[in-house]
Chain A
Amino acid sequence: MTETAPGPSTGSDDPNLTMGIDPYERNWMRLSIALLVAFAATITVAGFSMGFAVPGADGEVDPRTVLETEPWSSPGLREISPGVYEAYVVAQTWSFNPRELEVPVGSELTIYVTSPDVQHGFSVRDTNVNMQVVPGQVSKLSYTFDEVGEFPYICNEYCGQGHAAMYGVVNVVPASAVSAGNDNDNASDSAEAQGDADGQVD
C-alpha cells in the first residue's frame, strides 16, 4: 500500500488512480485463483475421464400416460448382457416400484427412474447414485456394485406425508447365489444364468 501518493486529488477522473492493492493481498488473490483452477481441473478429470458422471438429459415421458407405456408399465430389473443390468423404477407417492433389486456382485446396474405424480429423489446409500426424479423426465445413472450387501435406495425429495416411508433396497448377492428374481429359471450357476439372459434384451 505504498505505491500511491495521496497527491492533490481533484475528485475527477485522475488517470493515476490505482486500486492500491496490498502486496500480501495480491498474493492471496493469486493463490485463490490457483486453488480454484486446481479444483476445476480435478472435477474435470474426475467427471469426463474417470466416469464420475452426473445425470443429463436422458429422455422425456408424459407423466399422465407413462404408467401405461413400456417399459414403465412393467418396471423391474433386466439383464442385458452378462453382468450388465438395467432397472426401470417408478417413484410414486409413497413407494418405489419395484421395492427390491437383486444383482450379483460385480454387476453394472443402470437405473432409470421417473415419476407420474410429484417430484421424488432416488439415492442409493453408500454409492454415487443420487438423482432428482422429476415428472416428465427420465433420470438415469449407472453404478458397478463391487461389494456384497444391502444398499437401501431412499426418496430424498419431500413428496408429501408418507415421504419418510419411501425406500427400497438393492440386494447385491454373491455371484453364486443369484436368485430367480431376474426372470431367469436357471439360478444355480451365475455364469449360466447370465448366459441364458442374453436373449432377453427388450
Chain B
Amino acid sequence: MTVVDRSQSRPRNWDNDYELTDSEKRFVAQHIYVAIAALFVGSLFGPLQAFEFSGVDFYQYIEPVIKSYYQGLTLHGVLNALVWTTFFIVGFTNLTTMKGLGRPLSHPHINRIGFWVMVVGLLTTAFPILANSATVLYTFYPPLQASWAFYLGLTLVVVGSWIEGLGFYLTLHAWRKENRGTRSPFIALGGIINAAMWQIATLGIAVEVLTMLLPWSLGITDATDPELARTYFWFTGHPLVYFWLLPAYVSWYGMLPKQVGGKLFSDSLARLAFWMFLIVSVPVGFHHQFTDPGVPQTWKFIHALLTYAVFFPSMITAFTVIASLEYAGRKRGGTGLVGWIRTLPWDDPSVTAQLLGAILFMFGGIGGLTNASYNLNLVIHNTAWVPGHFHLTVATAVTLTFMGVTYWMIPHLTGKALWGRRVALFQTWTWFVGMIIFSNAMHMLGLLGAPRRTPLGKALYVPESWDGHLMRVSIGGAILLVSVLTYVYIMVRTIAGPKVEKALVPAVPVAQPLRPSQQTPLWLDRFKPWLIGAGVLLVIAYGPQLVDQIFNMNLNAPGSDIDLW
C-alpha cells in the first residue's frame, strides 16, 4: 500500500520531552512492584493445578499452608487476574497520563490516596484467602459465602482505582485548559478512556457487594439472591476483560510502533476503537449468562449481538497495529508479503513479548467469538475451554504485553539497565510455547466436556481418552512455571542492579502518528458524546431486565449449612 508520511509537517504534543521526576517514577514503580509480587505468588499455584491434571498432586505436600486445590485456585485467580492486572494498569496509566500529556498529575495527592486505598484493600482481601475463609474463587458466586473481609478488601481495591481515575480526569482537564484546540495525545487519552470505562463497569460489582454480599457476610441479612448477584457480577465481569486489554492496546498502538522504528498507522481509528470500547464493553454481560436460568432468551440474544459489536474495534486494532508494524518492517528493509516480519527487532525482548502476545491474541479472539455466539456457548460453557481461552487473552495477550512493557519500563523508572536481555528473550518464548501447549490442550478438553475449576486428576468421570490432553496441560504448566520464575528473577536482578548513566536508560517509547493527530476530527477527542452514548446503550440493553430482576429480588438463598471447603 502507498503510505505518505505527513507527520513532519506538524510535530505537536506527541513525543514531548517531559521526563517524570524521581518521585513520580517511584510512585509508578510502587504500583508495578505490587503487581509483580502478586503475579509471582499467584503464578506458583497455576502450575500446581496443571500438574494435578496428570495426577501429580503437590497440594498434599503444602497442606499445612494451603489447604486445597480450590484455595490455590482462588489465590491464582485473585492474584493474577485481579491484582497483577489492576495494579499494573493503574501504575501504567499514571505513566501514560503524565508522559502523554507532558505534565505532572494535577492533584498528585489524590492518586497517592488511591494507591494506598488499593494496597489496604489488597491486604484486607489477602488475609481471609490465606486463612482459607474465602475459598470462593475469583468470581465469588453467592451463596458461596466468604469472610466479609474478602468482599470489603476487593471493594477497597476498586474504590482505590476509582480515586486514581479521578486524578487522571482532573489532570486531563487541566491539560486541556492549557492546550485549547489541541488533540489529546493518544497514549494519555487511551488510558483515561479505559479508566472511565472501568468506572462505569464496576458499578455492577459495587452494587452487588454493598447491597447483598457485605450485609449478608456480616450477618445483617440471612440470605441472598444468587441470580441477581450473577447479573450484577457480569455487568462488571465482561468489561473487566477490556479493562485488562485496553492498556495492552495503548502499548500496541501508541508505543510498540516507536519501539520497532515506525509510526502509528491511523490516529483516528486508534481513537475510534477506544471510544467504541467505552460504549459497547459494558452492555454485553448476559453473554456470560447464556446458560443461566432466570434470564429470558431475548436479552441473552441482544447481548450476543452487542458482543459482536465489541468485536469490531478489535478487528480495527488488528489492521491498524499490523499496518503500523508493516510500515516499520518495510522501513527497516523488509520486502515481500510477509518478509517484513523478519526485519522487526526480534532481539528486543520488549518487542518480542508484545508481538508473541498479539499473535496468540488472534486465537483468543476467535475463541472469544465462539463463546459469545449464543447457542454455541452451550458446547463450552464452564468447560476447560474457558480457562483455555482466557489464558490466551488475559494470561498471554495482556500479561505477556505487560511483561514486555516492564522490560523497558522498570529500567526507565529505576535508572537501571535491563538484566539479561537474552534471558528475557528466553522468557518470552517459553511463555509463548508453554501457553500454546497448555491452552490448546485445555480447549480440546473443553470440547470433550471436561468441566473447568475441577481437579480432573481426582474426578471420577474422566475417561482414559483424555489422558493425553491432561498430560499436555501439565507440560504446558511446567514450561510456564519456568517462564514466570525467569521473569521474576530478571525483574529482581534489574531492580537490584547498579544505576547506569542516563544515556543507557530506555526512554518512554511514544509513537508518532503517520498523519498528524491535529487532522483527526474533533468528535474523536471529546468524552461527552461517547459517555452519553454509553449511558443510553446501557439503559436500553440492561435497563428492563435489570429493573425486573431488582423489583423481583428474592433474598431467599441462605447457602449451605455444611463446611464447603
Residues of A whose CB lies within 8 Å of any CB of B are 1-2, 4, 6, 9-13, 17-22, 24-25, 28-29, 32-33, 36, 39-40, 43-44, 46-47, 52-58, 60, 62-64, 93, 117-119, 121, 123, 125-126, 128-140, 152, 154-161, 163-165, 167
Interface centre among B181, B323, B461 (most CB of A within 10 A): B461
Given contacts A25-B266, A32-B315, A54-B377, whether A160 and B565 have CB atoms under 8 Å apart is yes
**Which residue of A39, A46, A160, A164 contacts B369 across the interface (Cβ within 8 Å)?**
A39
Residues of B within 8 A of A117 (CB): 143, 559-560
Query: Are A43 and B376 in touch, CB under 8 angstroms?
Result: yes
Residues of A within 8 A of B16 (CB): none
| Closest A residue, CB atoms, query B312 | A32
**Which residue of B10, B182, B308, B556 contacts A6 across the interface (Cβ within 8 Å)?**
B10
Query: Are B454 and A163 in touch, CB under 8 angstroms?
Result: yes
Secondary structure dominating the interface of A: loop
Residues of B within 8 A of A18 (CB): 519, 521
How far is A47 from B564 in the complex, measured between Cα atoms in Å?
37
Residues of B within 8 A of A155 (CB): 451
Determine if B70 is an interface residue (Cβ-Cβ < 8 Å): yes
Secondary structure dominating the interface of B: loop
Query: Are B564 and A22 in touch, CB under 8 angstroms?
Result: no
Residues of B within 8 A of A29 (CB): 312, 315-316, 319
Q: How far is the CB of A2 from chain B (nearest CB, A)?
A: 6
* CB pairs A–B below 8 angstroms (12 shown): A1-B3, A13-B522, A28-B319, A54-B377, A56-B297, A60-B554, A118-B559, A123-B451, A125-B449, A133-B293, A135-B143, A161-B68
Query: Are A47 and B227 in touch, CB under 8 angstroms?
Result: no
Query: Are B565 and A161 in touch, CB under 8 angstroms?
Result: yes
Query: Are B557 and A63 in touch, CB under 8 angstroms?
Result: yes
Query: Are A158 and B556 in touch, CB under 8 angstroms?
Result: no
Q: How far is the CB of A90 from chain B (nearest CB, A)?
A: 14
Determine if B516 is an interface residue (Cβ-Cβ < 8 Å): yes
Q: How far is the CB of A198 from chain B (nearest CB, A)?
A: 29
Determine if B503 is an interface residue (Cβ-Cβ < 8 Å): no
Q: How far is the CB of A1 from chain B (nearest CB, A)?
A: 6
| Closest A residue, CB atoms, query B558 | A64
| Closest A residue, CB atoms, query B513 | A20
Near A by CB (< 8 A), chain B positions 543-561 give: 554, 556-560
Residues of B within 8 A of A19 (CB): 266, 268-269, 272, 520-521, 524
Give a binary string over B257-274; 1 marks a CB under 8 Å from any A CB, 0 the rest.
Answer: 000000001101100100
How far is A131 from B379 in the complex, measured between Cα atoms in Å?
10
Query: Are A57 and B459 in touch, CB under 8 angstroms?
Result: no
How far is A121 from B565 in the complex, measured between Cα atoms in Å?
18
| Closest B residue, CB atoms, query A151 | B449
Given contacts A19-B524, A164-B459, whether A25 and B320 have CB atoms under 8 Å apart is yes
Given contacts A17-B519, A131-B291, A136-B225, whether A156 and B454 have CB atoms under 8 Å apart is yes
Residues of B within 8 A of A64 (CB): 223, 556, 558
Residues of B within 8 A of A165 (CB): 458-460
Given A32-B316, A56-B297, 14 more pairs with CB closer than 8 A: A9-B10, A19-B520, A19-B524, A22-B266, A39-B369, A43-B373, A54-B377, A56-B293, A56-B300, A64-B556, A132-B289, A136-B227, A139-B292, A140-B293
